[in-house]
C-alpha cells in the first residue's frame, strides 16, 4: 500500500478551498477534508506548486485553516451494476432514498447499489472463451430489461474465462467469473464495476452515423425536426416557455429502453413531479411502469454547486454503461446552463481570466466534448446500442447570442428553439417552427428510413409544410403593414393555411391524455391531410369568409386531436371535415 498524500487547508472562499499538500496530487483527484471529525468530499481542480485548489461538494461552513485533508488517488467514479434503474441519486451518485433525516446532512454518503438484493443470474460466457473489456459474461433481469454483466471497461488487453458461476441468485458483490489476463494472472469479476465519470467509455467497435429516428410522440419534433437514435439536440428558451414540460413529455414518451434524467441546478419540485408520477405512469412501448426504465440524477439548484458539474457526467456514464449492453438510452439534462454557471463560479473564485460573460474560456470545448459522448455504437459482438442526448439551455435574458447557447449550437445536431412570443400566445409547445432545425433531415440514411416508415417523399412533405408556415408569416407581416383590406385575399389564405398547420399540428396539449402522445401513424395521417387541404384551390370572396371558414376547420381538427385515432368520435370529425371542404367547393 502506497502512502496517501495528505495536506492542510490554507484558504477558503465559499466552496473553493486551497490545500497545502505534502506529496503528488492529480488533476480531478478526489480528497476528503475533515471538519470536526466528518470527512467531506472535494475534487482537485487546479494545482500550483504544493498548493491544490479543490472544490468541495458540500457547504464549507465551519471549515478552518489547518483542517486535515487526505487525497484518494482516484477520480470521481460511478458505481455501475444492476439496480441503477428506478434509483434517485444526487450528483455524486449517493442514493437519496436511503438517506436518513429530512434535511441533507453534510458528509452523509450512501451506497449507489443495494448490496443485499439478490438477482437472477444466467451466464452468457463459458470457460475458455476469449474476452475483452465490455464483453458480456452474464445477464440478470433488471425489471424487464436484460442487464448484462460485462468484463469491466477498465480491463486492458485480452482475457480468458477461467471459471464462471452457474445460474442462481446472487448479490451485486458476488464474484461471477474469474478471468486470466495475458500475464497468466487470475482476476475476479463481480456484478459491479467502477468508472471515472469524466472519461468517455469507448469499449465498442465503431460509432457509425445514426440511421433511424427516435420517436417522442411530440409532433413538432418527430415530424418537423426529428432527432435520431443516438443523436443530440438542445432546447434553449427563456423561462416560462415550457422547456420543462417539453422535456418531461420526451421523458415519458421517448422511444428508449433506459431514460436517465439529470436535474442539474433546477427546481426540486420538478424532480418531485418525476418520482411522484413516473411510478404510476405506463411506458407506452412496453406497458411497464415508467419508473422501471428511469434513473434520476438530481442536483437541484439549492444543492452544493460543485456537484452540479459532476451530475451530468454521472448521468452520461450510466447511459454509456447501458449502451454497452446493446440498449437504447436517452439522456435528458436540465439545464446545461446551470452546469456552465457552476464552472463560471469556480473560475471566478480562482481569479482566472474570464471569457465572454465571465464564463471560462474553454466552455465551448467542454460542452462539445460532452455532446460527443452521445451516439449510436456497434458493440464488439455486433449488437447496436445508442445514447441520445437532449440538453436544455437557459439563456440569460432569453438572448440566444450568449456563450452557452452558441457553444451548444456548434455541438448539437438538433435545435428546438423555444420562443417567448409563442409562449405568450399559449401556442404550446412553443418551439419556433421556422428557426428550429434537425440536421438529421439531411442524412441520406435518415431520409431513406423515413421514406420506408412514413411513405416516399416524406422529407419533402415536411419541407413543404415548413414553407407554408414561412409564407404564412410573410403574409401576416404584409397584412399587419397594409391592413386586412389592403392586401389581396390570397394573402389571407396563405396566412390561414399557416395558422391551420400551427393550431392543429404544431400545437399539442401535453396535459390531455389523448393529444399528449401522437403516434407516427397519426402524424403521417395528419400531415398528409393538412397538405391535401392546403393544396386545394382555395378561393374566397373576402377575407372575413376566409377567416370564418378556416376557423371552423381549425376547431374541427383540434377537437379531432382530443379523441382516439380512428375512434367513432374521430370518424364524426372526419365526416364534418369533408362537409366543410365540400361546402367550400360549392
Partner 1 sequence: MTNKAYQKIYTKLDAITKATVSLRAAGVANDELAVVHGRLAQVVKTKNETITLQVFSGTEGIPTNAEVTFLGAPPTLKTSDQLAGRFFNAYGQPIDGGPEVEGEEREIGGPSVNPYKRRQPSQLIPTGIAGIDLNNTIVSGQKIPFFADPDQPYNQVMADVALRADVDKIILGGMGLSNDDYLFFRQAFEGAGALERIISFVNTTEDPPVERLLVPDMALTAAEYFAVDKNEKVLVLLTDMTLYADALSIVSIRMDQIPSKDSMPGSLYSDLAKIYEKAVQMPDGGSITIIAVTTLNDGDITHAIPDNTGYITEGQLFLRADSDSGKIIIDPFRSLSRLKQLVQNKKTREDHSQVMNAGVRLYADAQNAKTKLENGFDLSDYDRRCLAYAKEYATRLLSIDVNITITEMLDTAWELFGKYFSKAETGIKQSFIDTYWKGN
Binding to partner 1 in span 287-316, by CB under 8 A: 298, 300-303, 305
C-alpha cell at 398: 432569453
Cα separations in angstroms, 43 against 70, 77, 538: 11, 12, 66
Peptide bond into 252 cis (omega under 30): no
User: Of 123-152, which residues contact partner 1 (CB under 8 A)?
Assistant: none
Q: Does 456 help bind partner 1 (rule: CB under 8 A)?
A: no
Distant-in-sequence, close-in-space partners of 328: CB < 8 Å, separation ≥ 6: 214, 229, 255, 256, 257, 258, 385, 386, 388
Q: Which stretch binds partner 1 (CB under 8 A): 217-225, 267-275, 431-439, 574-582?
A: 267-275
* Alpha-carbon Rg for the chain in angstroms: 27
Among 24, 126, 182, 276, binds partner 1 (CB under 8 A): 276
The span from the first CA to the last CA of the chain, in angstroms, equals 91
Q: Print the binding letters for residues 392-411 with partner 1: x by CB under 8 A, - otherwise.
A: --x-xxxx------------
Minimum distance of partner 1 from residue 280's CB (angstroms): 11
C-alpha cell at 287: 406497458
Minimum distance of partner 1 from residue 195's CB (angstroms): 25
User: Of 493-552, which residues contact partner 1 (CB under 8 A)?
Assistant: 511, 544, 547, 551-552
Closest by CA position to 60, among listed 18, 26, 102: 18
Q: Which stretch binds partner 1 (CB under 8 A): 285-293, 310-318, 320-328, 422-430?
A: 422-430
Q: Does 99 help bind partner 1 (rule: CB under 8 A)?
A: yes
3-class secondary structure, 149: strand
Minimum distance of partner 1 from residue 224's CB (angstroms): 22
Q: Which stretch binds partner 1 (CB under 8 A): 227-235, 373-381, 404-412, 553-561?
A: 553-561
Q: Give the separation between CA 541 and CA 157, rounded to whole angstroms.
A: 78
Q: Which is nearer to partner 1, 64 or 130 (CB)?
A: 64
Among 18, 317, 465, 508, binds partner 1 (CB under 8 A): 18
Q: Which is nearer to partner 1, 12 or 124 (CB)?
A: 12
3-class secondary structure, 208: coil
Residue 63 in contact with residue 33, Cβ under 8 Å?
yes
Q: Give the separation between CA 518 and CA 512, rounded to whole angstroms.
A: 11
Minimum distance of partner 1 from residue 139's CB (angstroms): 30
Residue 181 in contact with residue 331, Cβ under 8 Å?
no
Minimum distance of partner 1 from residue 10's CB (angstroms): 6
Residue 10 in contact with residue 18, Cβ under 8 Å?
yes
Q: What angle do CA 299, 300, 303 make, to 5 degrees?
A: 75
Q: Does 555 help bind partner 1 (rule: CB under 8 A)?
A: yes
C-alpha cell at 272: 418531485
Q: Which stretch binds partner 1 (CB under 8 A): 160-168, 265-273, 364-372, 575-583?
A: 265-273
556: Cα separation from own chain's centroid:
35
Q: Does 111 help bind partner 1 (rule: CB under 8 A)?
A: no
Q: Which is nearer to partner 1, 358 or 575 (CB)?
A: 358
Query: Which residues in 113-196 belong to E strands, given as ranges?
Result: 119-123, 130-131, 136-142, 145-150, 159-164, 168-170, 175-180, 186-190, 193-196
Q: Which is nearer to partner 1, 269 or 456 (CB)?
A: 269
Give the HSE-up count for residue 510: Cα atoms under 13 Å, Cβ half-sphere. Answer: 20
Among 47, 558, 574, 581, binds partner 1 (CB under 8 A): 558
User: Of 469-488, which residues contact partner 1 (CB under 8 A)?
Assistant: 480, 483-486
User: Of 345-374, which residues contact partner 1 (CB under 8 A)?
Assistant: 345, 348-349, 351, 354, 357-358
C-alpha cell at 3: 502512502
Minimum distance of partner 1 from residue 320's CB (angstroms): 25
C-alpha cell at 390: 437532449
Query: What is the secondary structure of 521-550 as a DSSP string?
Result: HHHHHHHHHHHHHHHS----SSHHHHHHHH
Among 118, 175, 268, 365, binds partner 1 (CB under 8 A): 268
User: Of 330-349, which residues contact partner 1 (CB under 8 A)?
Assistant: 335, 338, 341-342, 344-345, 348-349
Q: Give the separation between CA 90 and CA 78, rounded to whole angstroms.
A: 12
Q: Does 426 help bind partner 1 (rule: CB under 8 A)?
A: yes
Q: Which stretch binds partner 1 (CB under 8 A): 217-225, 250-258, 264-272, 373-381?
A: 264-272
Residue 288 in contact with residue 259, Cβ under 8 Å?
no
User: Of 163-222, which residues contact partner 1 (CB under 8 A)?
Assistant: none
Q: Which is nearer to partner 1, 233 or 265 (CB)?
A: 265
Q: Give the separation between CA 86 and CA 143, rounded to whole angstroms.
A: 9
Q: Print the binding letters for residues 224-253 with partner 1: x by CB under 8 A, - otherwise.
A: --------------xxx---x---------
Minimum distance of partner 1 from residue 478's CB (angstroms): 12
C-alpha cell at 394: 437557459
Minimum distance of partner 1 from residue 561's CB (angstroms): 10
Q: Which is nearer to partner 1, 158 or 406 (CB)?
A: 406
Residue 256 in contact with residue 330, Cβ under 8 Å?
yes
Minimum distance of partner 1 from residue 282's CB (angstroms): 19
Among 96, 124, 199, 516, binds partner 1 (CB under 8 A): 96
Amino acid at each position: 500500500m502506497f502512502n496517501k498524500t495528505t495536506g492542510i487547508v490554507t484558504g477558503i472562499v465559499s466552496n473553493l478551498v486551497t490545500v497545502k499538500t505534502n506529496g503528488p496530487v492529480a488533476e480531478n483527484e478526489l480528497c476528503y477534508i475533515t471538519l470536526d471529525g466528518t470527512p467531506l468530499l472535494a475534487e482537485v481542480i487546479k494545482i500550483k506548486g504544493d498548493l491544490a485548489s479543490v472544490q468541495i461538494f458540500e457547504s464549507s461552513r465551519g471549515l478552518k485553516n489547518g483542517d486535515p485533508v487526505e487525497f484518494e488517488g482516484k477520480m470521481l467514479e460511478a458505481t455501475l451494476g444492476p439496480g441503477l434503474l428506478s434509483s434517485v441519486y444526487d450528483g455524486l451518485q449517493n442514493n437519496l432514498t436511503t438517506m436518513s433525516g429530512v434535511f441533507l446532512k453534510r458528509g452523509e454518503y450512501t451506497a449507489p447499489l443495494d448490496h443485499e438484493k439478490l438477482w437472477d443470474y444466467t451466464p452468457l460466457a463459458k470457460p475458455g472463451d476469449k474476452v475483452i473489456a465490455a464483453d458480456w459474461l452474464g445477464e440478470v433481469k433488471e425489471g424487464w430489461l436484460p442487464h448484462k454483466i460485462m468484463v469491466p471497461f477498465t480491463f486492458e488487453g485480452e482475457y480468458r474465462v477461467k471459471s464462471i458461476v452457474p445460474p442462481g441468485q446472487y448479490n451485486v458483490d458476488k464474484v461471477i467469473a474469474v478471468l486470466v489476463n495475458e500475464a497468466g494472472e487470475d482476476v475476479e469479476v463481480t456484478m459491479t464495476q467502477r468508472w471515472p465519470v469524466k472519461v468517455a467509455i469507448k469499449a465498442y467497435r465503431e460509432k457509425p452515423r445514426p440511421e433511424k429516428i427516435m420517436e417522442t410522440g411530440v409532433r413538432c419534433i418527430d415530424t418537423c425536426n426529428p432527432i435520431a437514435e443516438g443523436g443530440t439536440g438542445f432546447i434553449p428558451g427563456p423561462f416560462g416557455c415550457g422547456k420543462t414540460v417539453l422535456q418531461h413529455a420526451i421523458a415519458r414518451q421517448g422511444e428508449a429502453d433506459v431514460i436517465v434524467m439529470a436535474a442539474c441546478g433546477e427546481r426540486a419540485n420538478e424532480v418531485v413531479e418525476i418520482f411522484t408520477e413516473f411510478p404510476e405512469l405506463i411506458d407506452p412501448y412496453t406497458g411497464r411502469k415508467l419508473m422501471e426504465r428511469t434513473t434520476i440524477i438530481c442536483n437541484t439548484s439549492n444543492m452544493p454547486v460543485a456537484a452540479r458539474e459532476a451530475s451530468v457526467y454521472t448521468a452520461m456514464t450510466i447511459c454509456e454503461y447501458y449502451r454497452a449492453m446493446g440498449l437504447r438510452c436517452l439522456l435528458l439534462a436540465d439545464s446545461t446552463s446551470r452546469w456552465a454557471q457552476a464552472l463560471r463560479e469556480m473560475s471566478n473564485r480562482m481569479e482566472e481570466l474570464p471569457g465572454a460573460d465571465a464564463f471560462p474560456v474553454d466552455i465551448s470545448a467542454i460542452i462539445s466534448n460532452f455532446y460527443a459522448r452521445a451516439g449510436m455504437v456497434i458493440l464488439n459482438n455486433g449488437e447496436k446500442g445508442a445514447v441520445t442526448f437532449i440538453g436544455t439551455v437557459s439563456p440569460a435574458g432569453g438572448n440566444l447570442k450568449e456563450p452557452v447557447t452558441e457553444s451548444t449550437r456548434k455541438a448539437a445536431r438538433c435545435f428546438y428553439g423555444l420562443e417567448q412570443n409563442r409562449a405568450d400566445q399559449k401556442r404550446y409547445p412553443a418551439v419556433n417552427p421556422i428557426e428550429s432545425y434537425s440536421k438529421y433531415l439531411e442524412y441520406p440514411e435518415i431520409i431513406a428510413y423515413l421514406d420506408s416508415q412514413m411513405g416516399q417523399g416524406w422529407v419533402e412533405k415536411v419541407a413543404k409544410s415548413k414553407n407554408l408556415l414561412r409564407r404564412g408569416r410573410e403574409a401576416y407581416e404584409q397584412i399587419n403593414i397594409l391592413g386586412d383590406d389592403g392586401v389581396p385575399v390570397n394573402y389571407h389564405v396563405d396566412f390561414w393555411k399557416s395558422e391551420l398547420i400551427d393550431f392543429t399540428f404544431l400545437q399539442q396539449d401535453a396535459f390531455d391524455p389523448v393529444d399528449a402522445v401522437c403516434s407516427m401513424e397519426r402524424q403521417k395521417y395528419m400531415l398528409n391531410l393538412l397538405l391535401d387541404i392546403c393544396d386545394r384551390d382555395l378561393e374566397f370572396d373576402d377575407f372575413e369568409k376566409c377567416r370564418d371558414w378556416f376557423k371552423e376547420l381549425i376547431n374541427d381538427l383540434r377537437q379531432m386531436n382530443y379523441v382516439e385515432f380512428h375512434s367513432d368520435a374521430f370518424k364524426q370529425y372526419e365526416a364534418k371535415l369533408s362537409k366543410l371542404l365540400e361546402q367550400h367547393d360549392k
